Structure 1
């Protein structure tokens, strides 16, 4: 006669409990959520209580980047160190933007006057019209930056 040990009884009961839990969790093909409506079937869309809300929701306005300045603040040119950009106005209402880093040795440009952007480190000067070198030692123009001007505000594009 074989004796049933306490360990065997406990393992058997644990296995039976595990089988009961697993079978209770099985879905046997029953979906837990409604299937997505077929956009080609108008009846599917009509049954969706959220379909009208989605269609009626207003389009969100694209948030514009923060303005660097008002156009009235630029004068001949203005340097924005935090954004590494210099905005110039070669003629009334014509705005341009360039990197504020000198192409000679990477110094920050310091001023805009008399039609040029001035670098204090070695005396390089750049045109406010196109960023080209007016006076060396820099040999490369300032990199152009894209800006947008709308409603009197200048923004990086």
Structure 2
């Protein structure tokens, strides 16, 4: 095999590998639905300051992921206590995939965050999820 042909084969293999890796990350980032106790799945509704959910929509110890308006996850770490964080994982910017048992999970690379304060509970992420301000008006929960 000539040097030119060998280089072409190696370059092509490297390109295919890079595309495969990027496609895999893209698939993980886009798949935000999940199952499990405490997680009510991903929905829209975070845009334009309208209500995200009612209090009853957010399970105690769990939460709900909203993908509209940049992505937010609303949690209820203890009864009557509501928190909101960015739904974008700080490791590789995938959308988090589920909230259960007091933890926000990103299935892209296994990072987990506290549903109470957004801090990292399992890497590879090294930075917590940024907190967002909520407004609770009666039974309605919206971004402040």
TM-score band by shorter chain is 0.5 to 0.7
User: Taking CA–CA contacts closer than 8 Å with sequence separation of 6 or more, which of the two structures ends up with the larger relative contact order?
Assistant: 2
> What residue number does 1:146 align with?
133
Q: How many pairs align?
A: 94
> What residue number does 1:80 align with?
66
Task: Indicate which of 37, 40, 52 corresponds to 1:68.
Answer: 52
Whichever of the two has the greater Rg, that structure is: 1
> What residue number does 1:54 align with?
none
Q: What are structure 2's unaligned runs of at least 5 residues? A: 1-47
Q: How does 1:24-103 map to 2 (within 5 A)?
A: 65-75=49-59, 76-83=62-69, 84-103=71-90
TM-score, scaled relative to structure 1? 0.58
Q: Secondary structure at the match of 2:56?
A: helix
Runs of 4+ with deviation above 4 angstroms: none
> What residue number does 2:123 align with?
136
Higher strand share: 2
Q: Secondary structure at the match of 2:131?
A: coil
Deviations 1:101-136 (A, max 9, x none): 000010000100111000010000000000000000
In 2, Cα distance between the equivalents of 1:81 and 1:65? 14
Shift in Å, 1:65:
3.1
Q: What are structure 1's unaligned runs of at least 5 residues? A: 1-63
